[in-house]
Amino acid sequence: MDKTIQKIVDDNKCTGCQLCYNVCDFDAIHIELSSEGFYVPRINFDKCINCGKCLKYCPIENDLSDYNETINVYAAKSNDEETRMKSSSGGIFSELAKEILKQQGIVFGTAFNENNRLVHIDIDSKKDLKKLCGSKYLQSDINLSYKKAKNYLADGEKVMFIGTPCQASALRNYIIDNDNLLIVDLVCHGVPSIKVFGKYLKYIFEDEKIKNIYFRDKQEEGWKNYYINLVGEESNYKKSHRKDPFLYGFLKNLYLNKICYDCPFSKIPRVSDITLGDFWGVNQELDDNKGTSLVIVNSNKGQEIIDNLILNRKISVNPSDIISGSKQNPRVIDGNMNIPKGREKLFKEIENLTFKEMDNLFIKSPKKEILQYAVKSIQTKPIVIFGTGSGGLKVFDEVKKIGIKEFKYFVDNDEKKEGTIFCGKKIYKPEKLLLDKKDKIFIIVASFYYDEISNQLINMGFREDVDFVDGISYFL
């Protein structure tokens, strides 16, 4: 019987956490980049003695669900304005790291290397903290970090490790209990393909050297409308996450690792001591658009360090709960999401496609010409809005500001809404659209299920970006 992790890889369940590579005593595992652009272990069966150690530790095989219980949930922020503005959310990671470094400990986190690859590194000094700060929307190369962390602990050092929930679970499986180890994980949307990112950088910078990559720049328009900021040797690229094609495709879940669509680690309770995320939808009185963290405390050890930061006035917290923290952030509690239709096709063709071709065919990020066309259509044709949820309301408000020629009606797939009134207009079934002449109306889709609705409209004979547009992408 095969006792290796091969089945995990064959079943597309591998997270790329690299723990198997760290634990194999026979040098039989190495890590490669898969054809889709994710880290994956490969076994050299000439060296493998089928001892089963890799599978025994693999976090996919070992469910530690009962390891912790959620103790407390907070909306939190660093009291240091500069730290907060440099961080993706409320800067809680940096405050935790500063505390560990003050206690002469070691902090593991991610940084870009000279080839723009994201790697886990360890630091022992505050001057290096800026390298780790900020979310990087890529899969990191853990390399031998788990082994290194174990060696530091064996030498009596304090260690803090931050990573995605699969990486945190891997480390917990490897080092089940050690008072000197603090594990912090993130709320995790999933990791996008390193290959897609490489093509994107080439598209933006061609051969220009890239000096810095910031995925979550708050300087332009604050925490909620964050910008990607790429600093080249000669030029600079900045774009809102709502318009940048790489982030647009990432947030549409188009090129995530396969396991991220069915993530077994995005749930409560977590195996880490502390979980950090964005507190999207935090109470208005706490929201200054500079970033608020969601902090979930999962162990007494986690509570102790958070209490210490509160006592020493390093952070401010407001008690909250999982329901509030996950309302606009499903990955806090739920690892499941639909795989977009384009994903398989995109990866099938990835070798032959430039990033621009990928954008045109699959990502379909908002384009200036289409926005101009949509604005003109709204001002010259009667419009219909497809979608009557919160998206419909917001899009309706925005297009009113542009100046509508005539608003006809709303449509919605929810049969229960048929005939009811929304924003002063009647809601119809989508079939109503067929009663209008196609070139006499302009449809604005205002739903987070754009892909499904777009297919539905195409099947009804409407043309994307001609007869209808994605209202959420273009107008919010």
Ligand X SMILES: Cc1cc2nc3c(=O)[nH]c(=O)nc-3n(C[C@H](O)[C@H](O)[C@H](O)COP(=O)(O)OP(=O)(O)OC[C@H]3O[C@@H](n4cnc5c(N)ncnc54)[C@H](O)[C@@H]3O)c2cc1C
Under the rule (CB under 6 A), what is the footprint of ligand SF4? 3-5, 8-9, 14-20, 24, 26, 28-29, 41, 43, 48-54, 58-60, 164-166, 170, 188, 190-191, 257, 259-260, 263, 265-266
What is the distance in angstroms between the CA of the first residue and the CA of the last residue of the chain? Answer: 55
Nearer residue to ligand X within complex by CB, 186 or 444 = 186
Nearer residue to ligand SF4 within complex by CB, 14 or 106 = 14
Instruction: Give the one entry of ligand SF4, ligand X, none that residue 271 binds, where binding means its C-beta sits below a cut-off of 5 to 8 angstroms depending on kind.
Output: none
The two structure tokens encoding residue 253: 């879940």
**Considering the complex, what minimum distance in angstroms separates the CB of residue 265 from ligand X?**
12
Nearer residue to ligand X within complex by CB, 72 or 456 = 72
**Considering the complex, what minimum distance in angstroms separates the CB of residue 94 from ligand X?**
6
**Considering the complex, what minimum distance in angstroms separates the CB of residue 314 from ligand SF4?**
28
Q: Smallest Cα–Cα separation from 31: which of 52, 15, 12?
A: 15
> How far is the C-alpha of 304 from the C-alpha of 297, rounded, in Å?
10
Q: Dihedral (C-alpha) 15, 12, 191, 370: value to the nearest 10 degrees?
A: 180
**Considering the complex, what minimum distance in angstroms separates the CB of residue 7 from ligand SF4?**
9
**Considering the complex, what minimum distance in angstroms separates the CB of residue 123 from ligand SF4?**
23
Q: Which residues bind ligand X (CB under 6 A)?
A: 87-94, 109-110, 118, 132-138, 140, 162-164, 186-189, 191, 276-278, 293-294, 329, 331
**Considering the complex, what minimum distance in angstroms separates the CB of residue 367 from ligand SF4?**
29
CA dist list (Å): 91 to 33, 84, 95, 322: 32, 5, 7, 20
Q: Which contacts of 228-235 are long-range, i.e. CB under 8 A and separated by 24 or more positions?
A: 230/201, 230/204, 230/205, 232/205, 232/208, 233/208, 233/209, 234/208, 235/205, 235/208
> How far is the C-alpha of 232 from the C-alpha of 467, rounded, in Å?
39
Instruction: Give the one entry of ligand X, ligand SF4, none that residue 260 binds, where binding means its C-beta sits below a cut-off of 5 to 8 angstroms depending on kind.
Output: ligand SF4
Nearer residue to ligand X within complex by CB, 54 or 138 = 138
Instruction: Give the one entry of ligand SF4, ligand X, none that residue 136 binds, where binding means its C-beta sits below a cut-off of 5 to 8 angstroms depending on kind.
Output: ligand X
How does strand 72-78 pair with strand 406-411? unpaired
> How far is the C-alpha of 265 from the C-alpha of 161, rounded, in Å?
17
Judge whether 184 and 161 are in contact, CB under 8 Å.
yes
Q: Dihedral sign, CA of 461, 464, 466, 470?
A: positive
Nearer residue to ligand X within complex by CB, 138 or 378 = 138
Nearer residue to ligand X within complex by CB, 278 or 467 = 278
